[in-house]
């Protein structure tokens, strides 16, 4: 036996027992795949600190972000959807509504009301993509139309923040498609009366929403990298059998092609809106 034994070529490491990590502490960025501490993400207005990807915000969060604290007076808060065509599928329409109401704590996919933005009175509406993808059924269309008519009657500027990947709501058939014409007609009357409408597009703003009120703003601004269009790029590629250009249907692409007027970072949206209200 040697006096000084050889050391092994490997190192023995004792691994401590992994502690239980509470849920919902980390979020993985959908764009750059970075793992972000949720507290840091919230402090940064739910914008990825590495790649500037803007995560979705709920309707209530948008109200808090843009409307002065304590000034928002919600309109038609108790209005709920019915089931006009008795839609039946793997889940009935009533079941889908109830499930999303429980998750979002909202009655519907839109919040409308009146408040002040840096002291300036506005009528404000915002859709929530968590509620049936922010799609527009009869209640969403009715609430938005009432808000537009309220802005027209009181001669107030109108701001609508759109975030809908669902467009018109299939669960209501033609009733949902009618809302595209209804909201557009009310915006036409608002415009003829000299009213201002600023449309803010977020990720995603698609289909019937984009084909109606969201594209009719006197000024159209968007958050960075938001998906904006009618049919999604994957469906378009499958249909035309061609590769789409890089960044197709993203805010930056649409700004370069004249569909929107400006791209604004989330942290700057309130100040930018305030300046626009002052100018116009």
Show the CA angle centred on residue 177, arms to residues 176 and 179, nearest 5°.
Answer: 70
pLDDT score, position 21: 47
Query: What CATH number corresponds to the domain at position 250?
Result: 3.90.226.10
210 and 226 both lie in a single domain: yes
Position with higher pLDDT, 216 vs 209:
216
The answer to whether residue 164 sits within a structural domain is yes
Is residue 193 very low, low, confident or very high in pLDDT (cuts 50, 70, 90)? Answer: very high
Neighbours of 191 (CB within 10 A): 14
CB 215 within 8 A of CB 199: yes
Q: How many angstroms from the chain centroid is the CA of residue 274? A: 20
Query: Are 115 and 250 within one domain?
Result: yes
The answer, yes or no, to whether residue 194 has pLDDT greater than 70, is yes
Q: Say what the pTM is.
A: 0.82
The whole-chain average pLDDT of the chain stands at: 86
Contact status, residue 216 vs residue 196, Cβ threshold 8 Å: no
Q: Quick one: 36 and 114 in the same domain?
A: no
| Range of weakest confidence among 87-91, 158-162, 253-257, 261-265 | 87-91
- Residue 2 reports pLDDT greater than 90: no
Per-residue pLDDT tens over the stretch 38-76? 888 887 888 888 887 888 888 899 999 999 999 999 999
Rounded-to-5 percentages of helix, strand, coil across the chain: 35, 20, 45
Per-residue pLDDT, 67? 94
pLDDT exceeds cutoff 80 at 79: yes
Of the ranges 191-205, 223-237, 247-261, the best mean pLDDT one: 191-205
Q: Are residues 165 and 40 in the same domain?
A: no
Pairing of strands 120-127, 110-117: antiparallel
pLDDT band at 208, cuts 50/70/90?
A: confident
Mean pLDDT of 117-123: 94
With respect to residue 222, please indicate whether it lies within any of the assigned structural domains: yes
> What is the structure's pLDDT at 5?
61
Split at pLDDT 50, 70, 90, the class of 262 is very high
Of residues 34 and 126, more confidently modeled? 126
Backbone angles phi, psi at 187, to 5 degrees: -70, -35
Instruction: Please indicate, yes or no, if residue 66 is contained in any of the structural domains.
Output: yes
Predicted local confidence at residue 124, as pLDDT: 96
Query: Do 39 and 91 have their domain in common?
Result: no
Distances (CA, A) of 154 to 182, 186, 191, 280: 20, 14, 13, 16
Quick one: 76 and 27 in the same domain? Answer: no
* Chain segment 134-147, per-residue pLDDT in tens: 888 899 999 999 99
Do residues 164 and 205 make contact, with C-beta atoms less than 8 angstroms apart?
yes
Residue 204: pLDDT band (50, 70, 90) is confident
The rounded distance, in Å, linking the Cα atoms of 100 and 107 is 9
Domains identified in the chain, total number: 2
- Residue 34: which domain range? 23-55
Same domain, 64 and 108: yes
Contacts of 189 (CB under 8 A, 6+ apart): 148, 149, 152
- Please give the radius of gyration of the chain, using alpha carbons only, rounded to the nearest integer: 23
């Amino acid at each position: 036996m040697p006096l000084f034994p050889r050391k092994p070529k490997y190192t023995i490491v004792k691994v401590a027992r992994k502690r239980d990590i509470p849920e919902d502490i980390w979020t993985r960025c959908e764009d750059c795949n970075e793992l972000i501490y949720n507290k840091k993400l919230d402090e940064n207005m739910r914008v990825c600190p590495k790649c500037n990807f803007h995560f979705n915000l709920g309707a209530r969060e948008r109200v808090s972000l843009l409307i002065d604290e304590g000034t928002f007076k919600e309109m038609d808060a108790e209005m709920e959807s019915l089931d006009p065509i008795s839609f039946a599928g793997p889940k009935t329409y009533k079941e889908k509504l109830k499930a999303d109401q429980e998750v979002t704590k909202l009655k519907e996919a839109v919040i409308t009301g009146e408040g002040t933005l840096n002291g300036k009175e506005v009528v404000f509406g915002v859709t929530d993509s968590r509620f049936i993808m922010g799609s527009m059924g009869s209640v969403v269309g009715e609430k938005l139309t009432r808000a537009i008519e309220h802005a027209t009657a009181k001669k107030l500027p109108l701001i609508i923040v759109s975030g809908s990947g669902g467009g018109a709501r299939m669960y209501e058939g033609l009733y949902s498609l009618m809302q595209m014409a209804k909201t557009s007609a009310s915006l036409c009357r608002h415009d003829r009366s000299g009213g201002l409408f600023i449309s803010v597009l977020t990720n995603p703003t698609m289909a019937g929403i984009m084909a109606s009120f969201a594209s009719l703003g006197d000024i159209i601004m968007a958050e960075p990298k938001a998906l904006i269009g009618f049919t999604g790029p994957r469906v378009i590629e499958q249909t035309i059998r061609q590769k789409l250009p890089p960044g197709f249907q993203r805010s930056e692409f649409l700004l370069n092609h004249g569909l929107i007027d400006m791209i604004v970072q989330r942290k700057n949206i309130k100040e930018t809106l305030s300046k626009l209200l002052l100018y116009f």
